[in-house]
Amino acid sequence: MTSDRPAPLVEVHPDAATLATAVAGELLNRIADAQAAGHIPDIGLTGGTIAEAIHREVARLADDSGVDWGAVQFYFGDERFVPADSPERNVGQAKAAFLDEVGARRVHEVPSSDDAGSAEEAASSYAATVRSTGSGDFDVLMLGVGPDGHIASLFPGHPGLDAVDEIAIAVHDSPKPPPDRVSLTFEALNRAQAVWFLVSGSGKAEAVRRGLAELAGADEAGALRETPARGVRGIAETVWFLDSEAASLL
């Protein structure tokens, strides 16, 4: 699926704060450049602690970026299937951190449990949204990586790893609560020009090592089913943005 794409790059920063500032600045530059070229950017967002720090840096730097926020489309790699006002919703965290502050208007949410009767229904609705509004590729897709190597809500050994001809799927029995989620599939995630993995902290170091094992010539230790992060690579680029702790086992 991804073997014909450019090899991943690794960018290591001293700490999480420096990492957040660097990624935020690069994201703003990419969006501004795309708009200057007459393109409406499609950006895939993720949740988690480092993502929230990046989002807050985006808000802090936004005024000087020249970005027209009303002309950026935002999507989410996954979402928790919980009520709309739940603090566990990725979209709520992103809105609070930067989307509302900068005036983003094209924010494509995964339906909550208030809006859909099941995670399957929410996945079907979200797939239709992605299909009808997206350009076909994400300009930038940001992904966190769990300590187990999961990305979005594609967990090691879970059935969703095998989804074919699907954009979004329901995920049940997630090893990380809440148990019910909606996730984009490998096929959808791999429709990204640039894939950025955002990883901070020593607790993620082993997952980073496994995710990048092929760079050192390793094989089974980083198998896709054990480390789903190995299953996504950008069409034009893949960058692992790490702090020094996350990179400590490389």
Which of the residues in the chain have pLDDT under 70?
A: 1-2, 214-222
Q: Across all residues in the chain, what is the average pLDDT?
A: 94
What would the pLDDT profile of 115-150 be if each residue is shown by its tens digit? 999 999 999 999 999 999 999 999 999 999 999 999
| pTM listed for this prediction | 0.95
What would the pLDDT profile of 13-32 be if each residue is shown by its tens digit? 999 999 999 999 999 999 99
pLDDT of residue 204: 98
What would the pLDDT profile of 48-62 be if each residue is shown by its tens digit? 999 999 999 999 999
- Residue found under tokens 């996730």: 183
User: In DSSP terms, which residues pair with 198 in a beta bridge?
Assistant: 144, 241
Cα–Cα distance, 247 to 23 (Å, whole number): 16
pLDDT of residue 220: 47
